[in-house]
DNA sequence: CCCTGATTCGC
DNA sequence: GCGAATCAGG
């Protein structure tokens, strides 16, 4: 492929639109990202307004509005307060036993069985008293709502690579159509989550479909 | 590791 | 002019 006027034009447009070199190379086809970068330099396109949100750096500002007018925290350090605090180490059990209600993953039947050792005449026998069935495909466990749904990167077609999840998201006819885009391991077309959905073992296949 | 852009340098 | 190789960084 050569740099025809049209291709160069496309290059300029995409580059100024903030597409990465690899994305552009992708769309143009027949060129590597290096070729694109090289061309960009030769054309002296450099300066792009905005890095256009690098996929690798979603950038989560979330700047916790730090109260600028917060107490200057000079902490006059009351000569007596400090020692007082130290002595008050016998902190009243205000939040003693929070009685934490354990939230467990829906999977993993947790304590599969309670073991109780029974000693019989010197011999040690292991008696297993299952409190839960080793595995019961219960209705509870089947609720997908309890499943952890990964946040997709919502990449566009051109942003996909050989290692991005190609699980479709949205209406293929809509301009908002995207792909999951999360990392897909080792040649798999999908991320682990979507691979599970896509390649459901006959036993799991049911509800989702 | 995967991805970005920047530079170099033989062709 | 071109772009693979390589470098530097996130």
* Token pair of A190 as six digits: 């999908």
Whole-number pLDDT of residue A185: 77
Residue A26's domain comprises 1-48
pLDDT > 90: what percent of chain A?
Answer: 20
A204: in domain: yes
At A158-193, the pLDDT tens digits run 788 888 999 999 988 888 899 998 888 777 899 989
Whole-number pLDDT of residue A13: 92
Average per-residue pLDDT for chain A: 65
Q: A132-153: string of b/e by CB count within 10 Å (b at 16+)?
A: eeeeeeeeeeeeeeeeeeeebb
A1: in domain: yes
CB within 7 A of strand C (chain A, 39-78): 39, 42, 56-57
* Token pair of A205 as six digits: 């296949």
Last residue of a domain, one of A48, A67, A87: A48
Within 7 Å: CB of A163 and strand C?
Answer: no
DSSP β-bridge partners for residue A183: A164
A72: in domain: no
């Amino acid at each position: 492929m050569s740099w025809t006027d049209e291709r160069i034009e496309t290059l300029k447009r995409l580059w100024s639109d903030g597409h990465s070199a690899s994305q552009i190379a992708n769309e143009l086809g027949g060129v590597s990202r290096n070729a694109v970068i090289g061309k960009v330099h030769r054309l002296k396109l450099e300066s792009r307004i905005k890095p256009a949100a690098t996929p690798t750096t979603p950038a989560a500002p979330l700047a916790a509005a730090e109260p600028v007018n917060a107490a200057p925290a000079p902490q006059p350090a009351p000569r007596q307060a400090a020692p007082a605090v130290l002595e008050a180490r016998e902190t009243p059990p205000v939040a003693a036993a929070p009685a934490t209600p354990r939230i467990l993953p829906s999977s993993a039947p947790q304590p599969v069985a309670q073991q109780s050792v029974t000693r019989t005449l010197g011999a040690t026998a292991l008696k297993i008293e299952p409190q839960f069935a080793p595995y019961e495909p219960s209705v509870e466990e089947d609720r997908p709502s309890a499943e952890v749904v990964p946040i997709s990167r919502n990449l566009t077609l051109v942003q996909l690579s050989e290692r991005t999840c190609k699980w479709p998201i949205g209406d293929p006819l809509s301009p908002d159509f995207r792909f999951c885009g999360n990392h897909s391991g080792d040649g798999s077309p999908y991320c682990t989550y979507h691979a599970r959905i896509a390649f459901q073992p006959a036993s799991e296949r049911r509800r989702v479909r």
